[in-house]
Amino acid sequence: MTKLVGLTVMSAHFALRSETPSDAEIRQILEEPTLLVSVTIFGERPTFAMDSYLVLVQGERTIKPVRVRFDGQASRTSVWPASPAFQAKVVASFSYADLDPRAKTRLSVFPSVGGEVSFDLEFSETD
């Protein structure tokens, strides 16, 4: 979640209550030092996401998160008990100071059960 997305979400929540965010609330989001990256992963047991990890790779640089949190208890999927039976969220905070928004970026997800899944990200494109 970028700062822009944070402002958008906050604005929508305030708009639902016919209110306007204060300057301090807006400033708090704009001063946030980290980019939140959230992924949903799927597995076969309720605790499969514990100790999962995310990294960003830009060129030769591997950028480690400042914090990682994960669902200790995954939720059942709509196809449970069929595969994949469970889904969980892994959220990592990356320091903006470590990122180059114009560099090609790859997100690598390391589930605790082993393996790696990677995705290309494009920070410089805007819609």
Residue tagged 């939720």 (tokens): 75
Q: What are the backbone dihedrals phi and psi of residue 5, each rounded to the nearest 5 degrees, phi first? A: -65, -40
Alpha-carbon dihedral angle through residues 3, 7, 9, 12, given to the nearest 10 degrees: -170
- 123: pLDDT strictly greater than 80: no
Q: Please give the structure tokens belonging to residue 97.
A: 């100071």
Q: Which tens digit of pLDDT belongs to each residue from 2-49?
A: 788 888 899 999 999 999 999 999 998 888 999 999 999 999 999 999
Rounded to whole angstroms, the Cα distance separating 94 from 66 reads 6
Contacts of 5 (CB under 8 A, 6+ apart): none
The predicted pLDDT at position 17 comes to 92
Do the beta carbons of residue 118 and residue 107 sit within 8 Å?
Answer: yes
* pLDDT at residue 125 tops 70: no
Give pTM, 2 decimals. Answer: 0.83
Top CATH class, 34-121: mainly beta
Whether pLDDT at 81 is above 80: yes
Specify whether the CB–CB gap between 86 and 46 falls below 8 A: yes
Q: Residues 45-69: pLDDT tens digits? A: 999 999 999 999 999 999 999 999 9
Domain map of the chain by residue range?
1-32, 34-121
Output the pLDDT for position 126.
52
Q: What are phi and psi of 61, to 5 degrees?
A: -90, 130
Q: What is the pLDDT of residue 112?
A: 85
